[in-house]
Structure 1
């Protein structure tokens, strides 16, 4: 899993909590006689699931997945994450129970509409935007570094290949000086040189691909 994969999962898990929070506010103020009970139950279930999923991702899963990729968010981005957690926690605590009193608990949150509209929504949007930008940059830097390291490895292998060719060439000369007794050795030296040439060609192709 790359950092790009993680950012995609984070956006998919956290992003919907913005709509979910607004939906919960609407459910608090809706007129049950007009909208009916069944649609409200479906909307409530979807919203609570989204809030729970987002909370789990932003408080735990995201940190664990990033750690598995040897990455830790910089202080500013971590501060934005914690701000999102703080804004999301009251809603998460309200939807945790399944006793039919979710709407009542949401209604009891002080300034719940203000919390969802002017706190959670902008904080979450800013965090996700910054997270995507940061992880995209880091992933690109890692890929560039990896390509550079691979090119360096190819260069080293090319140097080894040249040395092998030189050794094989010298061995062929020595085998020729020995005469008939060196024929077998000359065949081996020729095979080594041929293999070195093939390896050199392969390394050249790899280097060309990496530089493209």
Structure 2
């Protein structure tokens, strides 16, 4: 089963960059010279555009079926309020994704057709994605801690049960050795087996006690 920590990290790496990508796309769309001249930092506008398109596509895919697949593999479902935040992010990201996917016009021209592009990128998408990621990290981290605690408790209980079984086997093998001694030569073979069982159960119990000690630290 996939750990929730892995889900958290994978989702964050796919979704997080969409925030800077949206701001970069806004800057390119507002800069009429963007296709012909480099930015103030010397960056190539086409490189920035291509990278932003990739980041928006990756975030859109992760917020959709990608995250569903990770959550299914981890056996976990998002709480309703976090699921609602995720859906809101997906809906806000969809206009950018659709515009960048259109082939009848250049991506920047398609972006400029989005109503209130600045408001979407600056005041709605960025806060929504940041809020979702913050809550997602917190909730998945706590859920994984609960899982680890439950698993550790189960391991302790299992080891304790195994220790009890080991002690019982040792006791039974000891009694068997006594009975074998009572019947003389006919019980010698059985006595050897009983002794081996007793020694094996002792070694097993020692090993279980060592494992239990590691878990306590």
TM-score range, shorter chain: over 0.9
Q: Which shows bigger deviation, 28-37 or 131-140?
A: 28-37
User: RMSD in angstroms over aligned alpha carbons?
Assistant: 1.6
Tell me which residue corresponds to 1:105.
110
Aligned to 1:67: 72
- The separation in 2 between residues aligned to 1:93 and 1:31, in whole angstroms, is 21
Please list the CA deviations of residues 50-75 of structure 1 after superposition, one character each: whole Å capped at 9, or x if unmatched: 10000000111011110111100000
Bigger drift between 186-195 and 27-36 goes to: 27-36
Distance 2:103 2:209 in 1: 64
Q: Which residue of 2 aligns with 1:121?
A: 126
Instruction: Return the match for 2:95 from 72, 84, 90.
Output: 90
Gaps of 5+ in 2: none
- Alignment-derived partner of residue 20 in structure 1: 21
Q: Which has the higher helix share?
A: 1
TM-score (norm 2): 0.93
Number of the residue aligned with 1:181: 186
Q: CA deviation at 1:100?
A: 5.1
Is there any run of 5+ residues in structure 1 with no aligned partner, and where?
none
Within 2, Cα distance between the matches of 1:182 and 1:59?
71
Q: 1:158 offset after TM fit, Å?
A: 0.8
State the alpha-carbon separation in 2 of the partners of residues 211 and 9 from structure 1: 31
Q: CA deviation at 1:210?
A: 1.6
The 5 Å alignment of 1:125-164 reads: 125-164=130-169
Whole-angstrom distance in 2 between the partners of 1:203 and 1:164: 14
For residues 132-166 of structure 1, what are the alpha-carbon distances to aligned partners after superposition, in whole Å with 9 as ceiling and x for unaligned? 00101101100110111111111111111111011
Could you say which residue in structure 1 is the equivalent of 2:176?
Answer: 171
Query: Does the alignment pair 1:45 with 2:38?
Result: no
Rounded to whole Å, the distance in 2 between the matches of 1:167 and 1:43 is 75
Shift of 1:31: 3.9
Q: Distance in 2 between matches of 1:183 and 1:41?
A: 88
* Alpha-carbon distance, 1:90 to partner: 0.5
